Amino acid sequence: MEFTVRKKELKRISVISKNGESIIEKGNMDVEITIDALHNIEKYNIAILFSGDADFLALVNYLKNNGKKVYIFSSKNNISHELKTGGNGYFDLRDIKELWGKDLKYRASG
């Protein structure tokens, strides 16, 4: 089985408000993921999407209508209802005990 990981550098945007300046990091990859999924549609039978963004619902529906299985991984506090129910299955990342690094935030605050 082969996996391809796509990555993109975060954009750092300076925002000035009445409380001062802060930096917001954005890493939107909606378009890149969609183009990649469609461009390579003949190369896979199962798509695994790590997102909770409802913007991906159109892609999920397209893939399913073209015979692909689509599984969504996110967390229940970070997923739209439409996407959660739109795929062939939904998995809450917080429920995966074996997920590497999952407990790091708890160790850092504890």
Is residue 7 situated within a structural domain? no
Tokens 């689509």 locate to 70
pLDDT along the chain (110 residues), means of 10: 75 84 81 93 94 95 98 92 95 79 48
Is residue 18 situated within a structural domain? no
Question: Residue 99, class by beta-carbon neighbours within 10 Å (0-12 exposed, 13-18 middle, 19+ buried)?
Answer: exposed
- Coil, helix or strand at residue 60: helix
Q: What is the pLDDT at residue 85?
A: 94
Rounded-to-integer distance, Cα 8 and Cα 11, Å: 9
pTM: 0.72
Is residue 23 situated within a structural domain? no
Is residue 2 situated within a structural domain? no
Give me the CATH number covering residue 101.
Answer: 3.40.50.1010
Is residue 54 situated within a structural domain? yes
Is residue 12 situated within a structural domain? no
Range of the domain at 51: 29-109
Rounded-to-integer distance, Cα 68 and Cα 12, Å: 35
Number of domains in the chain: 1
E-strand ranges in the chain read 11-17, 20-26, 46-50, 69-74, 89-92
